[in-house]
Structure 1
């Protein structure tokens, strides 16, 4: 699925006359058409998909989970444990877990790709990768050999970049000799999806059941009226079966939710798998080969982060690669993909090690507390600690001297590398309500947002900025991936021109109730300039006055380049699934 999101961004952003995106899939869709795998998108993932124009379609089919509950071994409700952090996901309109099985999500993404003229080609198996010596960075360095296992037809594909989104057993990772650090445990979990009958008091929730025999049992209400039951397949339970099949999986699921009753009217899917955590040592090698999703990190489903982490990979890579392929950004911007994503994946791995052990009734490996501590209580503490990371709203990229450039730290509480909060805005003239993320879609463009403050007070700051920054400046050139937005603090007037005393920069919106300026910590008497990256993180922050021009030039000159007017050959990106 990560490959679909990356491919969709490339297909939308790149001229079809000069670029091609090819996706090859080892297995035809029919052989993968199952209900299982990942199910949950947390708020930050939904926000990113919203900026790609996909979230509303997902919302049409999803189960929107806003309620969680935890039951102890006696079936008594025990607040504050398990998945309780999900009820505190605020500061976003997507303040819920968007539950939609991967099968249905992929259908939506594939349909969007077909509209862009991109189809998955299957079955095609990647046989070899050769990185050609002597080819300059950004040139056609990759020669991939692929074979159709049904017909035996062989093809060679020469491309500038290859993306391996081909799962935990990634052929791309293996062919590029990228170490996959980590380990698998002896712990096993079972997941069963289906339509059920039960006497559990709150069945249409995300809940945990503290089973003395099956660990911390997952109960997740799914789309289309289904439910997922997940439990630890302990060594004691394994001893009872010579063969563990669907019938056994259902039998153990029924036992795992005691004292509640459970009956499966229909089983959609089931699996048993080994719990482990691994991370690729590199996400980008040879200046031309990327890994994304499970190909570069695997972990348990204990924190429900697999699909979300892969989504963050895909979005982060998609806009950067789009700019490079258009000749608008230096190729070294691609190094920031690994620099930003790898540390956050490592954070997830660290959390997952603790969460997965606790769900299997074991204390964390490096536990320094009471050796007799209640594992369910410790699990609640760990999940609470990881709450903002799990929701994605607290994920940040470290400040650096490149994409997340600190220049002025006192004009806004939102700093470079942090998520840019979504805030309510008002359109001019009609006063129609909108939101910042709605007016800043991810089309591989940066947004320079002028928080103008109270223009009756900040007029001199605005005048100093506009007089030093004429609209003939290169940052207003339409060939650059930069758009401008001006936000006035206060209710709208009859004319934006009259409100400012001149033409504002870019599109104008009003902060009618002052909440946008307050959320960004921008003083209405001073204003601020905040650059939003295409993926919705803050890139840099600076003051509104005369120093603003130099600060913006300092930021964008680090990675933007002028685009040549010469015709380029047809480029190609190969994505393997």
Structure 2
């Protein structure tokens, strides 16, 4: 087999991942990081696929997730950090802008921008990471069958998958505890598992074309929406390596001009037309595509407890909101820690099942949103619209994008109360299942500034954050918590899959002296008390916040060890 790494060539794995795109690669990287044996099998040789194109935009919440997985730095070195947008109609700029202006003035995150990086580079970075950490990754290998023996014990390998080397025709079998379908919209895993792929496919078609471009359009390195009468809401996207993408609707009227079909020359010509009255010239074309718009979602993202879908294998939609890769990454991050803790025998089975419930809810929201914007971007009305037929669809499009600002950035995506997200034991400013504020903290001694996300990386561990408030006022509660933990020294509260940190609202020379007791994990100072304030913890009483491994709020309450113990008792096996 052609592989980037042949460490073990074992026939048994904890997880076999079918599909070597960014979602499958990211999941494999996480599982290795979390102590789980996984391999990736991709049916295509990557050098034979398109060099460029495909997904380009990584939004703030996605960047935060990659940061907490120690993946962000090489992407920042290659990508284009976009903080500005423009909207043009008839060559004149519209202020305030429409559609992409949600990229501007993003608050409460280090990543207050959209990172534009073509998928080829994202995948390359992830493959290099897999090689570095020692994950087996095979190309030119096609999955042709799998069976599930449901009588196999919980710790056994119930999934037997058959693969064929596409060059030699040689077949082989791999056994695993779980089989992951990350093999795209035409997923073999989904089809063979018999999971319905429900939704619609329209007759609307779009063209995307990338290359090195010269133009007289002002602010050409901003994300742009060109409101065309003939080519829909035209996408202008600055890319990495000084390239640019133009995207437009390939309408019936345009198609009628080309009975011989679409070629690169046609795509280039219509791209230039779509940008009028601005002058545009391609110095070099890297990639182009014509595709049909549709929205589909798997009826279930997991079946029979052992077969799991993520990324395009679980859902497809238009590129109108540029959410495809972001949504797939959210799938992988949501699944990674849950799958690892299940395989390691730490969490109860219902925790892994929340992957299906949480991600289906979020994806369904995206699909309903995408149905509207994909129609409006073609300068047509959605079926539900009953307003003025002479109104401008682009204005409604802009309003929909603005209302979905927090969803588009990913910062507002949240999940309901479930086995992981449990109702807080006190009234707080944060909600279980949501992203917490990324507050600024100060390192003892050096005074170096850090964020909460810096000190709570995704290691498939839960984080218990003790907000100590003013330790003079909270000393009794802190001492009581210390006594509680020492009485339970061998319990799961001190095990490797739970980490603690302390945040004190009072600065000091020594964490121990400031707190008046042994710190709970590493200590950081909240020198302005803003972190306590944002979370809703008063300085007189403080509180405890439990974060999921993926950084979302899980639970919270007063400084009380019993609250922590009760929460984890519901999650963990005995």
TM-score, with structure 1 as normaliser: 0.93
Alignment correspondent of 2:51: 34
- Listed as ranges, the matches of 1:532-571 within 5 Å are 532-544=547-559, 548-561=560-573
Asked whether the equivalents of residues 53 and 120 of structure 2 are also in contact (C-alpha less than 8 Å), the reply is yes
Render the CA deviation track for 1:538-570: whole Å, top value 9, x for unaligned: 1101111xxx222211211122235xxxxxxxx
1:13 aligns with 2:34: yes
Q: 1:461 aligns with which of 447, 457, 477?
A: 477
Q: 2:288 aligns with which of 257, 265, 270?
A: 270
Quote the Cα distance in structure 2 between the aligned partners of 1:514 and 1:384: 32
78 and 215 in structure 1: CA distance in 2 versus 1, 3 angstrom threshold: farther
1:486 aligned to which of 491, 499, 502: 502
Aligned residues: 552
**Per-residue Cα deviation, 1:201-230 (whole angstroms, up to 9, x for no partner):** 010010100000001000000000000000
Quick check: 2:162–2:171 contact (8 Å CA) kept in 1?
yes
Query: 2:423, 2:274 → 1: CA distance?
Result: 51
Indicate yes or no: 2:513 matched with 1:495: no
* Residue of structure 1 aligned with 2:233, choices 209, 213, 216: 216
Provide the residue aligned with 1:520 in structure 2.
Answer: 535
Report what 2:382 is aligned to: 364
Task: Name the residue aligned to 2:213.
Answer: 196
Tell me the SS of whatever aligns to 1:509: strand
Partner of 1:160, secondary structure, is strand
Please report how far the alpha carbon of residue 474 of structure 1 lies from its aligned counterpart in structure 2 after TM superposition: 4.1
Cα deviation per residue 1:322-374 (whole Å; 9 max; x = unaligned)? 11122222233210100111000000001100110010001122123333321
Whether contact under 8 Å (1:73, 1:212) holds in the other structure is: no
Q: Cα gap change, 1:295/1:138 in structure 2, threshold over 3 Å: closer, same or farther?
A: farther
Of 154, 175, 179, which aligns to 1:162?
179
How far does residue 20 in structure 1 lie from its aligned partner after superposition?
2.7
- What is the SS of the residue equivalent to 2:351? helix
Kindly indicate whether the alpha-carbon contact (under 8 Å) linking 2:102 and 2:401 is maintained by their aligned counterparts in 1: yes
CA contact (8 A) 2:318 2:370 kept: yes
Q: Does 1:184 align with 2:193?
A: no
Is 2:392 aligned against 1:374?
yes
Distance in 2 between residues matched to 1:383 and 1:115, nearest whole Å? 40
Residue 262 and residue 473 in structure 1: after superposition, are their counterparts in 2 closer, same or farther (change >3 A)? same
Unaligned runs of 5+ in 1: 563-577
Cα distance, 1:23–1:42 mapped onto 2, change above 3 Å: same
Distance 2:155 2:311 in 1: 23
Q: Give the alignment's TM-score, normalised by structure 2.
A: 0.94
In 1: Cα distance, 2:423 partner to 2:328 partner: 27
For 2:270, the equivalent position in structure 1 comes to 252
Find out whether 1:172 has 2:189 as its counterpart: yes
The correspondence for 1:431, drawn from 444, 447, 451, is 447
Please provide the CA RMSD for this pair.
1.4
Q: Partner of 1:529 in structure 2?
A: 544
Q: Which residue of 1 aligns with 2:24?
A: 3
Deviates further, 438-447 or 493-502:
493-502
Q: Once the 2 structures are TM-superposed, how far is the Cα of residue 467 of structure 1 from its aligned partner?
A: 3.2
Kindly indicate whether structure 1 or structure 2 has the higher relative contact order, using CA contacts under 8 Å at least 6 residues apart.
Answer: 1
Equivalent residue number for residue 240 of structure 1: 257
**Alpha-carbon contact 1:82-1:383 (below 8 Å) kept:** yes
Moved more, 494-503 or 232-241: 494-503
> Does the CA contact (< 8 Å) of 1:220 and 1:228 recur in 2?
yes
1:507-533 Cα deviation digits (max 9, x unpaired): 100001222112212212221100011
Map of 1:324 onto structure 2: 342
Distance change in 2, residues 1:80/1:409 (3 Å):
farther
Shift, 1:478, TM fit: 5.4
Cα deviations across residues 438-473 of structure 1 (Å, max 9, x unaligned)?
A: 111101001000011111222233233333332643
1:336 is aligned, of 336, 354, 361, to 354
1:68 counterpart residue number: 85
Structure 1 SS opposite 2:486: coil
1:296 to 308, 314, 317: 314
Q: Is the 8 A contact 1:69 1:207 kept in 2?
A: yes
Partners of 2:47 and 2:140 in 1: how far apart?
11
Seen in structure 2, the aligned counterparts of structure 1 residues 353 and 427 have a Cα distance that, compared at 3 Å, is same
